[in-house]
């Protein structure tokens, strides 16, 4: 069964010739009525043209459509890049007879090459003709780069007696790191919301989902998360129960998508939660988890299924947080392999090695210096990670 977008939205994805293999590479999401829109963008100082455009347009708080392409990031493309992003939006706006200021743009792919505009403009009529309520999957495929599977999550909830929907579509794969990375995520919902409330909810959800995952520590120039709310359900997120109900469902959708991103990280064979406990502050716990989760030596050991906890201790020691170097405990799932910074013996290590053979497990590091904790999801560094990224453009 195809995933259906939330009521009042349509989507499409077609092949415009940007990708070499004739796969879908141009996608469109259309809101039949004006929607409130919220957005979160990359923290990278070098930002792609569509990000610069969207940042400007989102000030109006109103969205009608999102046009996205894969195969080219439209980044480091100067003034022409900005004009190209505008032209992409204009072509869509004209043919949908909507205000171009309410059309948002996203691009992902290679940096530094101009967008092949003639291909995109020529494809817009077909793109619009392809719009349908069950176009989610086609759109999801159109934004994939090195992703191996599409990422779509559709959920529903209730505010009072009003049923509401949230559908999220994302792409990820490489360059996933704190504060997001070449990841695009588009979310449609039919709740009633002011732009401000929507923005607050989105920011909070992004912090507990996309900002808690890492694939390779690199941060992209094109990260974009956009959330449109059309109000069709009449479920109001500013009603007393509305806020929590919407937030928890939005959290669930984004956390689910975030897990899917890490699981499909470039060359990844394992999904690993790095949980740091006993830190002096949540910030320090997060920093420690992030440092470990990004350590190439830790990540290659995950790939090798080697319970080499010394690399975890070494990464923790350079995380620049408060620790006592003699009170570190490390566990793989529930097997404690290191206590007070010393090995627990060969049997524990053998058990940990078995746990590492699983596709998903948790590494818990207790610093024993405080009461705060934080988790980061990561994946392993495999031979395929290198192969994919050495050959990306060829």
- Kindly tell me which of 31 and 294 has the beta carbon lying closer to a copy of itself: 294
- Kindly tell me which of 133 and 313 has the beta carbon lying closer to a copy of itself: 313
CB 8 to a copy of itself: min, Å = 36
Distance between CA atoms of 118 and 129, rounded to whole angstroms?
Answer: 18
- Kindly tell me which of 149 and 383 has the beta carbon lying closer to a copy of itself: 383
Residue among 296, 9, 275 at smallest CA distance from 165: 9
Binding site for a copy of itself (CB under 8 A): 43-47, 73, 75-78, 110-113, 174-175, 177, 216-221, 294-297, 300-301, 303-304, 306, 308-311, 313-318, 323, 325-326, 328, 338, 340-343, 381-383, 385-387, 389-394
Beta strands in the chain (DSSP E): 9-14, 26-41, 62-72, 103-110, 151-159, 162-171, 184-189, 224-229, 271-279, 329-332, 335-339, 342-343, 360-366, 372-379
CB 370 to a copy of itself: min, Å = 15
Residue among 128, 124, 248 at smallest CA distance from 191: 248
| 182 is an active site residue | yes
CB 118 to a copy of itself: min, Å = 18
CB 117 to a copy of itself: min, Å = 16
Annotated catalytic residue within 77, 182, 221, 378: 182
- Kindly tell me which of 212 and 299 has the beta carbon lying closer to a copy of itself: 299
- Kindly tell me which of 102 and 294 has the beta carbon lying closer to a copy of itself: 294
- Could you write out the DSSP letters of every residue in 277-335? EEESSHHHHHHHHHHHHH-HHHHHHHHTT---HHHHHHHHHTS-S---TT--EEEETTE
CB 344 to a copy of itself: min, Å = 10
The count of residues in the chain is 394
Residues 338, 363: contact at Cβ < 8 Å? no
Q: How far apart are the first and last CA of the chain?
A: 35
User: What is the helix, strand, coil percentage profile of the chain, to 5?
Assistant: 35, 30, 35
Q: Indicate if the alpha-carbon torsion angle 342, 345, 346, 352 is positive or negative.
A: negative
**What φ, ψ does residue 254 adopt, rounded to 5°?**
-70, -35
CB 60 to a copy of itself: min, Å = 24
- Kindly tell me which of 176 and 193 has the beta carbon lying closer to a copy of itself: 176
Contacts of 334 (CB under 8 A, 6+ apart): none
Which of the residues are catalytic? 182
């Amino acid at each position: 069964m195809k995933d259906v977008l939330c009521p009042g939205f349509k989507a499409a994805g077609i092949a415009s010739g940007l990708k070499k293999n004739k796969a879908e590479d141009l996608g469109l999401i259309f809101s039949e009525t004006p929607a409130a829109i919220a957005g979160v963008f990359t923290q990278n100082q070098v930002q792609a043209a569509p990000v610069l455009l969207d940042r400007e347009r989102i000030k109006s708080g109103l969205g009608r459509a999102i046009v996205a392409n894969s195969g080219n990031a439209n980044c480091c493309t100067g003034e022409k890049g900005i004009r190209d992003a505008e032209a992409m939006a204009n072509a869509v706006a004209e043919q949908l007879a909507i205000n171009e200021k309410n059309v948002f743009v996203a691009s992902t792919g290679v940096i530094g090459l101009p967008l092949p505009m003639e291909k995109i403009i020529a494809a817009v009529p077909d793109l619009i003709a392809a719009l349908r309520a069950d176009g989610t999957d086609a759109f999801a495929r159109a934004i994939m780069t090195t992703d191996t599977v599409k990422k779509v999550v559709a959920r529903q909830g209730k505010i009072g007696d009003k049923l509401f929907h949230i559908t999220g579509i994302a792409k990820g794969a490489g360059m996933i790191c704190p504060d997001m990375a070449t990841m695009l995520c588009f979310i449609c919902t039919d709740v009633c919301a002011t732009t401000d409330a929507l923005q607050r909810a989105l920011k909070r959800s992004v912090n507990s989902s996309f900002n808690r995952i890492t694939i390779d520590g690199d941060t992209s120039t094109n990260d974009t998360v956009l959330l449109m709310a059309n109000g069709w359900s009449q479920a109001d997120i500013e009603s007393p129960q509305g806020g929590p109900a919407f937030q928890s469902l939005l959290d669930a959708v984004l956390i689910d998508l975030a897990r899917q991103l890490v699981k499909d990280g470039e060359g990844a064979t394992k999904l690993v939660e790095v949980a740091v406990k006993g830190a002096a502050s949540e910030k320090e716990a997060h920093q420690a988890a992030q440092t470990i989760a990004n350590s190439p030596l830790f990540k290659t050991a995950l790939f090798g299924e080697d319970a080499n906890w010394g690399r975890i201790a070494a990464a923790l020691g350079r995380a620049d947080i408060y620790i006592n170097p003699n009170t570190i405990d490390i566990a793989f799932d529930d097997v404690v392999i290191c206590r007070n910074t010393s090995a627990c013996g060969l049997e524990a290590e053998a058990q940990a090695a078995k746990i590492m053979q699983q596709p998903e497990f948790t590494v818990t590091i207790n610093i024993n210096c405080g009461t705060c904790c934080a988790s980061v999801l990561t994946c392993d560094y495999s031979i395929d990670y290198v192969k994919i990224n050495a050959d990306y453009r060829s």
